[in-house]
Amino acid sequence: MMPRLRALLRLVSLQASYTYERMQGIGIAVAEEPLLEPLQDNPERARAARGRSAQYFNAHPFLAGAAVGALARAELDGEPGERILRLRTALSGPLGALGDQLFWAGIVPGVMGLALVAAAAGYGLRAVLAAVVGYNALRVMVTWWGLKIGLQHGLTVAHALSESALPVMAARAGALAALIIGVAIPWVAAWLLRGIGQPVRSTVLVVAGAFVLGVLTLRRPLSAPALTLGAALLTLLWRWSAA
């Protein structure tokens, strides 16, 4: 199997060895390993490269392919070790911020919001299947593209990434996700609350009340799950005392 494909497969489990000290460091080393095979003829260089590859690293897992490609290219080109370690540190923050903005705050809520609307409209199974297939196709494509661009550009990968469409997409994905989640709110409310026999007025009241509480929990004095479990406990106490 070609080394780039093996690196891609290993990137799929990048965070399996996540620790709070080196974060994704070990996963990066495992993913980089197939790309460093040309160094096998020079055991000293290979050993030094392996040692560097397992140091601290943390970025968005889907964009980590760009770092793996760039670091491998720098090792193969014989760049000085200190420079490679500096590249590693320099890539962590931007790749993390870009990926978090694009995927965790944009694409994931957007896709799940769409799936919720479709489920509320009666297309649940097809929506879930489409969401999983479409999202994973995108996820693999982005990781593959990251590997490719990293291997092509090496030390200048950050510049290549900033010139790509990713930063613009990341900025727009959040707004689109907000719009989709907005659409999902009335649809899911109608599906779940009116579906259990709540009239329109009380459905609107529950959502409006949730809006007020949602704003109040923004600074997280109490998380929504804790608030819900507390309210459920009070409900149970009230029901049992009334029985």
Q: How far is CA 216 from each of CA 174, 210, 220, 222, 227, rounded to the nearest angstrom?
A: 22, 10, 8, 9, 11
Identity of the residue, 59 or 153, whose beta carbon is nearer to other proteins in the bound complex: 59
Q: For residues 181-204, b (16+ Cβ closer than 10 Å) or e, as one string?
A: beebeebbbbbebeeeebeeeebe
CB 22 within 8 A of CB 88: no
**Per CB under 8 A, 141 contacts other proteins:** no
Binding residues for other proteins restricted to 158-197, rule: CB under 8 A? 174-193, 195-197
The token pair at 155 is 């030390």
Identity of the residue, 106 or 153, whose beta carbon is nearer to other proteins in the bound complex: 106
Q: How far is CA 161 from each of CA 135, 147, 240, rounded to the nearest angstrom?
A: 21, 12, 60
**Distance between CA 17 and CA 56 in Å, rounded?**
12
Applying CB under 8 A, which of residues 49, 70, 98, 170 lies at the interface with other proteins?
A: 49
Binding residues for other proteins restricted to 16-35, rule: CB under 8 A? 16-23, 26-27, 29-30, 33
Shortest reach from residue 78's CB to other proteins, in Å:
16
Identity of the residue, 87 or 193, whose beta carbon is nearer to other proteins in the bound complex: 193
Only one of the segments 53-61, 69-77, 80-88, 157-165 lies at the binding site for other proteins (rule: CB under 8 A); that segment is 53-61
Collapsing DSSP to helix, strand or coil, 176 comes out as: helix
Only one of the segments 82-90, 132-140, 145-153, 162-170 lies at the binding site for other proteins (rule: CB under 8 A); that segment is 132-140
Shortest reach from residue 187's CB to other proteins, in Å:
5
**Per CB under 8 A, 225 contacts other proteins:** yes
**Per CB under 8 A, 229 contacts other proteins:** yes
Identity of the residue, 42 or 156, whose beta carbon is nearer to other proteins in the bound complex: 42
| Contact string (CB under 8 A) for other proteins, positions 82-111, x = contact | --------------x---x---xx--xx-x
**Per CB under 8 A, 130 contacts other proteins:** no
DSSP label of 41: G
